[in-house]
Amino acid sequence: MAPHFDLPSFGVGILAQTALLLVGRAILSSLKTSARFRADNTPHPSGLKVVITGGTRGLGLALARQFLALGDDVVICSRHAEAVERTVSALRDAFPGAVVAGVACDVSVPEDVDRLGAEAQEILGGIDIWVANAALRGLARADLVHTSPGDIQAIVGANLTGSLLCARTALKIMSESGCKGKFFLMAGRGSRGDATPKNPVYGATKQALVQLSASLAASVQGSPVSVHLVSPGMVATDLLLPLADTAKSARLINILAEEPETVAGWLVPRLRGATGNGGYLQYLTIPGALFRFATAGRRRNRFVSESQSRVGAGFTRI
Answer with the residue of higher pLDDT: 123 or 17: 123
Of the pLDDT bands very low, low, confident and very high (cuts 50, 70, 90), residue 4 is very low
Model pLDDT, residue 138: 74
Would you say residue 278 has pLDDT above 60? yes
Model pLDDT, residue 40: 62
Q: Active-site residue numbers? A: 202
Side-chain-side CA neighbours of residue 217 (13 Å):
19
Asked which of 71-85, 130-144, 188-202 is least confident by mean pLDDT, the reply is: 130-144
Could you tell me if 129 and 184 are in contact, meaning their C-beta atoms sit under 8 angstroms apart? yes
Of the pLDDT bands very low, low, confident and very high (cuts 50, 70, 90), residue 36 is low
Q: Burial level of 286, CB count in 10 A (0-12/13-18/19+)?
A: middle
Model pTM score: 0.84
Domains and CATH numbers, the chain: 44-241+257-284 (3.40.50.720)
Overall average pLDDT of the 76-87 stretch: 98
Could you tell me if 65 and 259 are in contact, meaning their C-beta atoms sit under 8 angstroms apart? no
Q: How far apart are CA 225 and CA 6, in angstroms?
A: 62
Overall average pLDDT of the 87-116 stretch: 98
Model pLDDT, residue 19: 40
Asked which of 35-39, 69-73, 112-116 is least confident by mean pLDDT, the reply is: 35-39
Give the residue from 267, 317, 309, 280 showing the smallest Cα distance to 70. Answer: 267
Phi and psi, residue 275, nearest 5°? -125, 170
Find the angle CA(88)-CA(108)-CA(200) to the nearest 5 degrees: 110
Overall average pLDDT of the 144-169 stretch: 97
pLDDT tens by residue, 105-122: 999 999 999 999 999 999
**How many other C-beta atoms can be found within 10 angstroms of the C-beta atom of residue 34?**
15
Would you say residue 18 has pLDDT above 50? no
Residue 278 region by backbone torsions, left for phi larger than 0, else alpha for psi between -120 and 50, else beta = left
Model pLDDT, residue 207: 97
Overall average pLDDT of the 65-92 stretch: 98
Could you tell me if 271 and 182 are in contact, meaning their C-beta atoms sit under 8 angstroms apart? yes
Of the pLDDT bands very low, low, confident and very high (cuts 50, 70, 90), residue 249 is confident
pLDDT tens by residue, 173-232: 999 999 999 999 999 999 999 999 999 999 999 999 999 999 999 999 999 999 999 999
Model pLDDT, residue 248: 84
Of the pLDDT bands very low, low, confident and very high (cuts 50, 70, 90), residue 39 is low
Of the pLDDT bands very low, low, confident and very high (cuts 50, 70, 90), residue 253 is confident
Answer with the residue of higher pLDDT: 191 or 252: 191
